[in-house]
Amino acid sequence: MTNPVNGKFETHEHDVLITGAGGAGLRAAIEALSHGANVGIVCKSLLGKAHTVMAEGGIAAAMANVDAADDWRTHFGDTMRGGKFLNNWRMAQLHAQEAPDRVRELEQWGALFDRTDDGRILQRAFGGHSFKRLCHVGDRTGLEMIRTLQDRGVQMGIDVYMECTVTRLLTDNGRVSGAFGYWRENGRFVVFKAKSIVLATGGIGKAWPITSNSWEYTGDGMALAYEAGAELMDMEFVQFHPTGMVWPPGVQGLLVTEAVRGEGGILRNKNGERFMEKYDPKRMELSTRDVVARAIYTEVKEGRGTEHGGAYLDISQKPAEYVKRKLPSMYHQFLELADVDITKGPMEVGPTCHYMMGGVRVEAETAATTVPGLFAAGEVAAGLHGANRLGGNSLSDLLVFGRRAGLAAAEQAKKQDARAIDPDQINAAEREALAPFERKTSENPYMLHEDLQQIMQNLVGIFRTEEDLHSALGTIAQLNERAQGLSITGSRMFNPGWHLCADLKSMLTVSEAVTRSALARKESRGAHSRIDFPNYDPAWGKQNNIISRRGNEMVLQQRPTAQPPEELQKLIEAEKGAKA
């Protein structure tokens, strides 16, 4: 189909367009389809390869199958406490209340979780969760989830645009009207007209060199939303997962699931000391991720690290067969990539950039952003996790808010006539995309990416200072200048260097937003640790950092967090007293 606007581009029209086909995008698609919407889903990779496939440990849901005392109130309290009370309380409440139904639904669509002795869904312990709460399939829970959703979506007749990247949202008088993108395979451009759009594009880990994230995680959704006029929130809160692989170099950052600790894994430094006793004697290895990541970082920094600059994580005290059954992919990963048999000896692990708590600001009930017609769910959205996410709360987030976003987007589309597509916006998007082929400069996208990653690692990492963050902002400005000179050789046919040019634009935008927010927050809270402001500041505990675009300028402001109603406040207070 050609574009009625100017006949130039392939054009597709949908009620609801979803960008991203991980857990949130697929769940949104299923919900929108089941409410009668015509749905298209665009993804950068092949269907079924999105980041959800890598999730290992489980889905947090207070099913109370193993610990009968668990209920949504406890899950809510754990999530708020883990997020250091910066969470959107209503999102935390909805998430805790709805997660069990979302898990049961997966089972009814064919997912097969590990079982309890009486045939129910088995749940395991995880950091920051008061009870055994994570529904899982060994250490490949994400694969089970994405396959189940994918099969369901395909059966319902979802239109999938695979290996297609959206580079710009199109707007009509401030409301979304569609999206512009390119096919990776042949480099041709494509226009999508849509009444509503759901962003489900995931996180931003590729802005750091040591990361558990794949090439796709370049912050596209946040940058697209920002460009379209939406607000970003809590961008300073980037989760460094405590346990990534540290050796050999090629696998540095690769995730070692928290389930290793959930199943009884013990952390030690090079002197054999179980160092978590110093940092969180009560919860030890199952403390929250921010605490464990800082602990390992500190041990290494103070000279008690392992040969390759990490900590030892040991599960070999458990029977070998048990380890292979509960952690099969970890067993193979270490054996094949690091020559380590984890049933016989310890792994070497260290922090790795893993997850973005911040993102596009949304309404709790509908996942609506501040731009009419634009919704966001999953990692790209902010609010649920506050200053630090608990393990297992991401997969449940995808299901709960993916569903809500799909529902709201479908409802919105029913009320809405198709909007006009502005040819000027399309032409500008085309010019921007093609510029790297036309420039006579020699700025290599791979080198620019490496330079960005180095400053984010060195200056905007686990521990931050005002001086480092100022310096990072200056360097990001220089990198933005250099990005104007990016050039690429070869054709438009599946050209990863060219694709990286577009991804870099997103990464530079989110990196600047992270750095500006980190600089403003003069306290330490959750995943944001300031050496120059090492303590909580109660005033900052009631403020969210909000980023928005004014012309070409990125502006930052603070907005007070919403306070929960009294009965929930009591719940948090009680939990605080009991378990903080």
Given the rule CB under 8 A, which residues bind other proteins?
A: 45-51, 53-54, 104, 107-110, 112, 114-115, 118-120, 137-138, 140, 142-144, 147, 151-152, 154-155, 160, 162, 185, 214-216, 247-251, 254-255, 329, 332-333, 336-339, 444-447, 450, 488-491, 493-498
Query: HSE of 3 in the Cβ direction (CA atoms, 13 Å)?
Result: 21
Strand order in the sheet with 123-124: 59-60, 134-135, 123-124
Least Å distance between CB 314 and other proteins? 21
Angle at 301 between CA 313 and CA 263, to 5 degrees: 15
Going 536 to 541 to 547 to 550, the CA torsion angle's sign is negative
Decide whether 178 or 445 has the Cβ nearer to other proteins. 445
Decide whether 24 or 86 has the Cβ nearer to other proteins. 24
Least Å distance between CB 494 and other proteins? 4
Beta bridge partners of residue 84, listed in sequence order: none
Least Å distance between CB 564 and other proteins? 34
Residues 577, 500: Cα–Cα separation, whole Å: 49
Decide whether 493 or 531 has the Cβ nearer to other proteins. 493
Residues 287, 514: Cα–Cα separation, whole Å: 25
Say if CB 135 and CB 59 are below 8 A apart.
Answer: yes
Q: Taking Cα atoms as reference points, which of 370, 43, 414, 408 lies closest to residue 176? A: 370
Catalytic residues: 241, 261
The token duo for 84 is: 């250091």
Decide whether 197 or 200 has the Cβ nearer to other proteins. 200
Residues in the chain: 580
Residues 170, 410: Cα–Cα separation, whole Å: 19
Decide whether 248 or 474 has the Cβ nearer to other proteins. 248
Decide whether 349 or 513 has the Cβ nearer to other proteins. 349
Decide whether 250 or 534 has the Cβ nearer to other proteins. 250
Least Å distance between CB 205 and other proteins? 12
Least Å distance between CB 388 and other proteins? 24
Least Å distance between CB 457 and other proteins? 17
Decide whether 197 or 448 has the Cβ nearer to other proteins. 448
Residues 222, 232: Cα–Cα separation, whole Å: 7
Angle at 566 between CA 561 and CA 567, to 5 degrees: 120
The token duo for 143 is: 């694969």
Q: Output the CA–CA distances (angstroms, integers) from residue 216 to 22, 163, 180, 232, 280, in the order listed.
A: 11, 11, 18, 20, 35
Residue 208 makes CB contacts below 8 A (sequence gap 6+) with 353, 453, 456, 457, 461
Decide whether 388 or 453 has the Cβ nearer to other proteins. 453
Least Å distance between CB 527 and other proteins? 23
Other residues' Cβ atoms within 10 Å of the Cβ of residue 304: 15
The token duo for 23 is: 């857990």
Cβ-based burial of 541 (10 A; exposed 0-12, middle 13-18, buried ≥19) = middle
3-state helix/strand/coil string of 415-471: HCCCCCCCHHHHHHHHHHHHHHHHCCCCECHHHHHHHHHHHHHHHCCCEECHHHHHH
Least Å distance between CB 307 and other proteins? 12
Strand order in the sheet with 553-560: 359-360, 232-233, 543-550, 553-560
Least Å distance between CB 149 and other proteins? 11
- Compute CA 354 distance to the chain's CA centroid, rounded to the nearest angstrom: 8
